[in-house]
C-alpha cells in the first residue's frame, strides 16, 4: 500500500502570492530533488539557499500516511485550527501541498481525495518535474541550474538574485512576482530587496513578493 512521507501538517495563513492572508492547511512533504536537506550537502546542491526543514517525518502532524490517512489528517488539522466543517467536508478550505518538492510524491489520487473532502488544492513546486494531474492553483518557483519543466500555471515566483526573469525560457502564468532572497547578512538582504523593488517599478506587470507569515511570526 502506498504511503506518503510528510514532514508536517499545520494550519496557518498563506504568506505569499495571490492567496496571501488566506487561512490554509499546509502539508509539507519530505524530500526534494534539488537538495538532500542536509547541511553537509548544501554546497553541492542545485538549490543552496533553502531555509525549510523538510527532512524526515518528525515535524508537527508529520508521519507516513496512506491516502485516506493523509486526507483525514489534513481535515482534522483544518477543524482543529477553527476551520468550518459541515457534513464531514471542510468548508471554504485551502490546502497547500509544499515541500521540499511535493511532486516527488503527489499524484492524482491524493488530489481527488482532498477535493472530495472539500479542499481547494494548491501546489507549490520548483517546476522541475511534470504535473501529474490538474490542481486548483499552481505556484512555480524555479531554481537556477534546474530545468524548468512546468512553464504554465497560475503563479511564477522568482527568488532574486539567484534567478532573474531574463534567465527564463518562455512561460505562461497568470501572475508573476519577484521575491528578494533573505540572507544572514542584513546589507545583502537590503540590497536584494532594493533590486526586487527596482525590477517591479520598471516592469509593472510583475509583483513584489513578500513573506507575510514571517512578518506576523506565523509558521
The predicted pLDDT at position 219 comes to: 87
Mean pLDDT in residue range 210-217: 86
Sign of CA dihedral 28, 188, 20, 168: negative
**Residue 133 annotated as catalytic:** no
Considering the candidates 5, 36, 136, 213, report the single residue annotated as catalytic. Answer: 213
The domain limits of the chain are 4-215
Give pLDDT tens digits for 156-207: 999 999 999 999 999 999 999 999 998 999 999 999 999 999 999 999 999 9
**Residue 26 annotated as catalytic:** yes
Phi, psi of 112 (to 5 degrees): -60, -40
Name 89's Cβ contacts closer than 8 Å, sequence gap at least 6: 117, 118
Of the chain, the percentage scoring pLDDT greater than 70 comes to 100
Considering the candidates 101, 124, 154, 155, report the single residue annotated as catalytic. Answer: 124
CATH superfamily, region 4-215: Aldolase class I (3.20.20.70)
Q: Considering just the CA atoms, what is the radius of gyration of the chain in Å?
A: 17
Give pLDDT tens digits for 122-143: 999 999 999 999 999 999 999 9
**Residue 101 annotated as catalytic:** no
Considering the candidates 32, 98, 139, 154, report the single residue annotated as catalytic. Answer: 32
Which residues partner with 89 through β-bridges?
86
pTM assigned to the model: 0.96
**Residue 52 annotated as catalytic:** yes
Q: How many CB atoms lie within 10 A of CB 187?
A: 8
Amino acid at each position: 500500500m502506498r504511503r506518503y512521507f510528510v514532514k508536517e501538517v499545520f494550519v496557518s495563513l498563506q504568506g505569499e502570492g495571490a492567496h496571501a492572508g488566506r487561512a490554509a492547511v499546509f502539508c509539507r512533504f519530505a524530500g526534494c530533488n534539488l537538495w538532500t536537506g542536509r547541511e553537509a550537502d548544501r554546497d553541492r546542491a542545485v538549490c543552496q539557499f533553502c531555509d525549510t526543514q523538510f527532512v524526515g517525518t518528525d515535524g508537527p502532524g508529520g508521519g507516513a500516511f496512506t491516502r485516506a490517512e493523509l486526507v483525514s489528517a489534513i481535515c482534522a488539522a483544518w477543524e482543529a485550527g477553527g476551520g468550518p466543517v459541515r457534513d464531514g467536508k471542510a468548508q471554504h478550505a485551502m490546502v497547500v501541498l509544499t515541500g521540499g518538492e511535493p511532486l516527488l510524491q503527489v499524484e492524482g489520487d491524493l488530489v481527488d481525495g482532498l477535493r472530495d473532502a472539500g479542499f481547494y488544492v494548491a501546489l507549490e513546486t520548483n517546476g522541475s518535474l511534470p504535473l501529474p494531474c490538474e490542481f486548483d492553483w499552481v505556484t512555480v518557483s524555479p531554481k537556477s541550474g534546474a530545468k524548468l519543466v512546468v512553464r504554465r500555471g497560475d503563479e511564477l515566483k522568482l527568488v532574486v538574485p539567484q534567478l532573474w526573469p531574463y534567465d527564463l525560457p518562455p512561460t505562461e502564468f497568470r501572475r508573476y512576482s519577484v521575491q528578494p532572497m533573505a540572507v544572514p547578512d542584513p546589507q545583502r538582504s537590503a540590497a536584494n530587496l532594493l533590486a526586487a523593488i527596482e525590477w517591479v517599478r520598471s516592469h509593472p506587470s510583475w509583483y513584489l513578493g513578500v513573506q507575510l507569515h514571517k512578518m506576523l511570526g506565523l509558521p
